[in-house]
Structure 1
C-alpha cells in the first residue's frame, strides 16, 4: 500500500508542477506575497469569520484591494480598498445580518469607501441565490501599489516622471500617528466630481502581504484558523490601481475601463457574452496582468502553480467522539473559464448586473452548468490500519444510491464532507456548495481527485476536523482542527 500511495503522490506532484518551471508567479512558501487568497469564509449556522491582513513591509505602505466572492459562482459580493501603512495590520469580522453577510471593523487604517461597516451586496446574485449567496465564499487580497514617502525616478510603469509630492501626501495620509491614520479625504478622495486616481501616488507593488481567517462558532465552542495562500511575483509589476468608483467611464490611468487583454479575463464583462456592466471597482482581479503580458498569460501562470491532480488528507468521523470532517477545495480561477448568457435582458435588467453560466472552457470544459459541477476521479480511501476500499461501489456521494460511480466538485468553493449522511457538511456547517462522500471507514486517509476530464484543476484549501469531548464540564465541548492539504 505504501509504495502504491507514494507512486500516486509522485504522479500528482508532477501533474501539479507541469509547465510551471518558468512561471514568474509562484506560491510563497513563507506565506508572504503580492497577492493573498483566503480559501473560505462563512457566516452559516452561527459561524462568524474573523479576518486579518498584515503588511510585513516595515518601510512601505500598501494600497490593497479586498474582494469577497460568493461560493457558488464567485460573484463579487463585497469589495473595497485598504491602505496599510508599514507594519500595519487590518482586522474585521464577517457576521450574519438578517439573511446576508455583513462586515464590521473598528480598525484605524484608511479604507475606500471611508466606512466599510455595511452589509454585503446582492446586486450581482441571481434571484435564486440572493438569500444565501453572500454567506460563504473566498477572499481576494491584491497589492495594487506601494505607498512610499517620496521617491526619485519613475513613480510607476505608466508615467514618465515621479511625483514626490503626491507620493509623500498619500504616505502621510495613511501612516498611523499615535495609533490612528489621518485618512485625509483631500488626498484619498479629492474634491472633484470624480474620486482621485491615486496611481501616481504609488510605486510598483512589492511583496509583504500575509493574511489569515478564523471561522469561529461561539455557541458550539469551535474555531478553525486558515492561512491565506500567498502568491509572489519575481518580475517587476506595474501599479495596478483602479479607483473604488461606481463609474464606467472616467480618467482612470490603468487603463480606461474596458474588457480587454490588459484588464480582465472575466468574460461576464464582454458585451458579446455576459454583458454585465463593468465598473472601475471591478479592477484589478486575479486575472489582471501582474507582471505578465496579458490576461491569457496571467491565467496560464495561475493555472500552472495552483493545479493539482489530487489532494491527500486525513479524516475522522468516529461517532464515539462525534467527529466530523469537511474538506474545502477552493478554486479561485474557476470564474475566468465560464461562458455566460445575459439573463434577464437589458430591458428587465437595465443596470446589466446579472448573467447566467452556460458552461466553461479549459480545465472546466466538462462543467455541468445546471448544477455548476465538474466530474472528477474516484477517491482512494484507506483506514488507519492500511486497509483500502477495493470495491468502489462502497463509496458514494450521499444521498445517491449505492454503487454510484460519479464524484463531483460543486461551485467555486467545493466543500466535501465525509460520512455525514444526509447533512452535507459537519464541521463547518457549509450549505451552498457542500456534498457528502460516504466511505466504508470511519477514520483514515483519503486521496481526493481534483482532476476533471480536461486535466488537473487549480485548487487551494484545507481540511476542517471537529471532535467532541464529553468529559469537559457539564455538557462537553468541541475542538476544531485545521489540516493543510497535501499533494
Structure 2
C-alpha cells in the first residue's frame, strides 16, 4: 500500500480542464441523461420528457432499467428534429402486474411502440419486460430509472434530416426511417452511419412521479453527463462519425453507461471530478470505462433535510439509485468465474434471492440546530450516528421513522431508519432535521469503500449514486372537508473524498 504524494495531487489538479473527459453536465444538459426514479406502485404514474435543445436533429437511445439490478426492461431509439421533444409515461399494466410505457408523441421511435390504445387515437404502448427472462416477476418492472444516451447528431439537409422533420416545409416521415433499416433497399441496412455525425450534446430531461388520487407530484430533472462519447480530433465537433454506434437496439445490443469514450484512438477513458475541493482528471483503462462514469457519480457523503412530524402529516423518503452497480455485482456482466463484487460494492447480486442480502450504510442525524437527536452513546460530535439497512439492489428507498414503507411510494426496496443510536434499543425517529448518509465509511472493520484506482493511483471514497429526497405534507385545514398535499423533491448535497490504498486521506 502507498500514500499518494501531495505533489502528485497538485500536478493532477493543475492538469484539470486540458483533456476531454466525461463530466457532470451543467445547467441540466449533456450527451447522456439518467432519470433518477420511476414508480408505478401505489397508484403512481411516472411522466417522462426529453428535449433536444439544439437546432440539429439527434438520435437518442432511451433505456428503461428495472430497479432490482438495472436490467433492460425496454429500449428504443428516438429520432428528434432540432428543438424537438418527446414525452411518454410509465404506468401500471394491472394493479398486481407489470408496467407499460405509453406515448402519443409524434417523434419517431424505432422499434415503434407496438400496441394501439383503444379509443385513444395516436396513443401507443409497449409492455416493459426483461427480454432474457420471460418468466421474471412482473413486479420487477414497477420501479427503476431511465437512461438516455445521444447516439449521433443528424447532418443537415440530408434524407434523414428531412424524415425527422428538421427541414422547413417537409413533414415528418417516420415510415421513411423505419424503411431505412429494411434490407435490401434501406440505406441504413448497409450504411448505418449514413447522414450521422458525432454527438454534440444539449439534451435534457425531466421525470415526475404523479398520483392523481393522492394529489402528489414528485418531479426532478434528469442528471446529465457531458462529453460522454467524444473524439478530440473531431473539430469542429460533428464533422465525422468516429464515435457513432447506430443500430436498432435490443436488450442484447445497446449502448450502456459502460460505453463512454474520451478518445477513440486511446486505450483510456478520462473523468473530470471535484474531490476534496480540488479538480482532478482521472484516467481509466478502456476495459474499465464504466469506472469513469462511476467516478463522476461517486459521493462519500450525501445529506438532505427530512420531516416526519405527525402533527402536519409529514413524510420523507430518500431514493438512492446506483446506475452502474450491475457492472460490479452482476455475475452475468463480470469475467467468468468471478465470485466477489468489484470495488466499491460489497455484495454480489443474487438473481434467485435478490432481497436476501442487506446493505448497510452509516448515517448521521442532527436536528435543525445541529444538536443531538438521541443519546449517541458517547459520540464526540453534534449528532447521532447509527446505520440504515436496505436491500443490496440497484435501487433503495429509505425512510426516517418509517416502517412499513412510505404509503405514497409503496416501494419494494424499502430500508427504514427507524432505530437510531444506542444499538438495537434506539429511539424511533419522528421529527425534523438532517440526514447524512456516509457512503464511504467502512463497516465492521472492512477496508475502505472506494472505487478502483485510476491510472494516476487515485481512489474516490464512496459509492456511485444518484439520490433524491421526497417530502410530502398533509394540510387537514385547507378548507372544510378538503385535504391538501404539498409534495416536493430535492437533490441532496454531496461531497467526495480522495483516499489511498489504506483508506487514509490523499492529502493529510
Shorter-chain TM band: 0.7 to 0.9
Measure the CA separation in 1 of the matches of 2:492 and 2:484. 26
Is the alpha carbon distance of 1:364 and 1:241 closer, same or farther for their aligned partners in structure 2, counting shifts above 3 Å?
same
| 1:458 to partner: Cα distance | 0.4
Measure the CA separation in 2 of the matches of 1:186 and 1:84. 12
TM-score, reference length from structure 2: 0.71
Match of residue 244 from structure 1? 248
1:458 equivalenced with 2:469 (yes/no): no
Match of residue 328 from structure 1? 319
1:485 equivalenced with 2:492 (yes/no): yes
Match of residue 380 from structure 1? 364
Match of residue 425 from structure 1? 406
Match of residue 301 from structure 1? 292
Q: How does 1:170-209 map to 2 (within 5 A)?
A: 170-175=160-165, 181-185=172-176, 188-192=179-183, 196=189, 198-209=192-203
Match of residue 266 from structure 1? none
Partner deviation per Cα, 1:123-160 (whole Å, 9 max, x = no partner): 33485x5230110001110000001215xxxxxxxxxx
Q: Is the 8 A contact 1:33 1:231 kept in 2?
A: yes
| 1:68 to partner: Cα distance | 0.4
Partner deviation per Cα, 1:225-278 (whole Å, 9 max, x = no partner): 1100000018428443332256xxxxxxxxxxxxxxxxxxxxxxxxxxxxxxx7
| 1:185 to partner: Cα distance | 2.9
Q: 374-383 or 355-364: which moved more? A: 355-364
Q: Is the 8 A contact 2:260 2:293 kept in 1?
A: no
Name the SS for the 1:464 alignment partner.
Answer: strand
**Equivalent position to 2:54, from 54, 57, 67:** 57
Match of residue 100 from structure 2? 102
| 1:103 to partner: Cα distance | 1.0
Is the alpha carbon distance of 1:46 and 1:172 closer, same or farther for their aligned partners in structure 2, counting shifts above 3 Å?
same
Name the SS for the 1:360 alignment partner.
Answer: coil
Name the SS for the 1:108 alignment partner.
Answer: coil
Name the SS for the 1:241 alignment partner.
Answer: coil
Measure the CA separation in 1 of the matches of 2:464 and 2:306. 22
CA RMSD of superposed structures (Å): 3.3
Is the alpha carbon distance of 1:87 and 1:239 closer, same or farther for their aligned partners in structure 2, counting shifts above 3 Å?
same
Measure the CA separation in 1 of the matches of 2:292 and 2:222. 19
1:317 equivalenced with 2:317 (yes/no): no
Q: Is the 8 A contact 1:341 1:356 kept in 2?
A: no
Q: Is the 8 A contact 1:37 1:230 kept in 2?
A: yes
Measure the CA separation in 2 of the matches of 1:314 and 1:405. 17
Measure the CA separation in 1 of the matches of 2:32 and 2:329. 23
Match of residue 119 from structure 1? 127
Partner deviation per Cα, 1:21-48 (whole Å, 9 max, x = no partner): 5670110121100000001111111000
**Equivalent position to 2:398, from 416, 420, 432:** 416
Q: 99-108 or 385-394: which moved more? A: 385-394
Q: How does 1:26-425 map to 2 (within 5 A)?
A: 26-58=23-55, 60-98=56-94, 99-115=97-113, 117-125=125-133, 127=135, 129-150=136-157, 168-175=158-165, 181-185=172-176, 188-192=179-183, 196=189, 198-233=192-227, 235-236=230-231, 238-244=242-248, 279=252, 282-292=253-263, 293=267, 295-340=286-331, 359-367=340-348, 369=350, 370=353, 371=355, 373=357, 375-389=359-373, 391=375, 407-408=389-390, 410-421=392-403, 423-425=404-406
Is the alpha carbon distance of 1:485 and 1:180 closer, same or farther for their aligned partners in structure 2, counting shifts above 3 Å?
farther
Partner deviation per Cα, 1:289-338 (whole Å, 9 max, x = no partner): 33354643522211211110110000011111111111111111111112
| 1:118 to partner: Cα distance | 1.4
Is the alpha carbon distance of 1:339 and 1:218 closer, same or farther for their aligned partners in structure 2, counting shifts above 3 Å?
closer
Is the alpha carbon distance of 1:373 and 1:226 closer, same or farther for their aligned partners in structure 2, counting shifts above 3 Å?
farther
Measure the CA separation in 2 of the matches of 1:313 and 1:366. 26
Measure the CA separation in 2 of the matches of 1:244 and 1:388. 56
Match of residue 436 from structure 2? 447
> Gaps (5+ residues) in structure 2?
1-8, 115-124, 233-241, 269-285, 379-384, 421-428, 443-447, 451-461, 495-508
Measure the CA separation in 2 of the matches of 1:389 and 1:463. 20
Q: Is the 8 A contact 2:53 2:204 kept in 1?
A: yes
Measure the CA separation in 2 of the matches of 1:331 and 1:20. 29
Measure the CA separation in 2 of the matches of 1:95 and 1:56. 27
| 1:388 to partner: Cα distance | 2.0
| 1:418 to partner: Cα distance | 1.5
Measure the CA separation in 1 of the matches of 2:83 and 2:468. 27
Measure the CA separation in 2 of the matches of 1:389 and 1:19. 42
Is the alpha carbon distance of 1:484 and 1:66 closer, same or farther for their aligned partners in structure 2, counting shifts above 3 Å?
same
Measure the CA separation in 1 of the matches of 2:21 and 2:66. 28
Measure the CA separation in 1 of the matches of 2:103 and 2:89. 6
Q: Is the 8 A contact 2:60 2:150 kept in 1?
A: yes
